Amino acid sequence: MNHQKIVGIVGAEVSMSDRVQTSDIDLSINNTNTIGIEAKIAKEVASQFVAKKTGKIIKAQTLRKEVELMLRLTEEMGSKYEPILSNMINRLNLNSENAHNIFSEVVEEIFRDRVNWGRVIMVYAFGGKIAEHCKQTNNEQMIEKVGLWVGNSVAKKSSWIKESGRGWNGFMEQFRDRGCAQESSWFQGLFAATLGFGTLAAALYIKS
């Protein structure tokens, strides 16, 4: 084989290798971009969710549809455990110094052995309760920080949201527009798939 043929073969192999590596990089970038989008949505949902839970007005045209559904879910799920959770939150003696650590410890417990949409909802619900507590105790400067804690905690699960949760579109598809006849079994399944508010209350009791 002459020198020109060798150079041609090597050049072709290098070119093919470059294409493969470039393709791999493109896929990695696309995947990273998608995860970045899921993280961005998680943070926007947290910010608007906490704002709504504490009585702030958000224009309808700017309110994310995920927030509307999250509010409905946390309200319906929380109704059964509201007195327990409120009592536990009060017993924690939350203040500017300890609130972030307590929040982080409870979220770590929520995600300790698995991630699913039910547990993501729990994180938003817990953050919402802390934000409400901050408002009730005239510690409103903490409210925006709580929104950041919730958003950052859920954003860390962006890989799961994208790959297993089918993105935030998957969240909307799984939980919206359930018929009245299906409501009971739907919420039973949701509770069975998550820690449940009872377990969250137990985690709060341990911290208190």
Which percentage of the chain shows pLDDT scores above 90? 42
Cβ 122 vs Cβ 194: under 8 Å: yes
Rounded to an integer, what distance in angstroms lies between the CA atom of residue 161 and that of residue 169? 10
Cβ 132 vs Cβ 140: under 8 Å: no
Whose CA is closest to 122, among 143, 95, 103, 96? 103
Q: Which CATH number fits domain 3-207: 3.40.50.720, 1.10.287.1080, 1.10.10.10, 1.10.437.10?
A: 1.10.437.10
Cβ 162 vs Cβ 35: under 8 Å: yes
The DSSP symbol for 196 reads: H
Residue 177's pLDDT band (boundaries 50, 70, 90)? low
Q: How many CA atoms lie within 13 A of 92 on its CB side?
A: 30
pLDDT of residue 89: 81
Rounded to an integer, what distance in angstroms lies between the CA atom of residue 168 and that of residue 162? 8
Rounded to an integer, what distance in angstroms lies between the CA atom of residue 48 and that of residue 70? 10
Rounded to an integer, what distance in angstroms lies between the CA atom of residue 46 and that of residue 43? 5
How confident is the prediction for the chain on average, in pLDDT?
77
**pLDDT tens string 74-95:** 887 767 667 777 777 888 888 8
Residue 181 CB neighbour total at 10 angstroms: 8
- The most confident of the ranges 85-89, 110-114, 133-137, 171-175 is 133-137
Residue 116, φ and ψ in degrees, nearest 5: -150, 175
DSSP 90-136: HHTT--TTTHHHHHHHHHHHHTSS---HHHHHHHHHHHHHHHHHHHH
Q: Which residues of 32-54 are buried (b: 16+ CB within 10 A; e: fewer)?
A: eebbeebbebbbbbbbbbbbbbb
pLDDT of residue 114: 84
Domain boundaries, the chain: 3-207
Does residue 162 or residue 32 have the better pLDDT?
Answer: 162
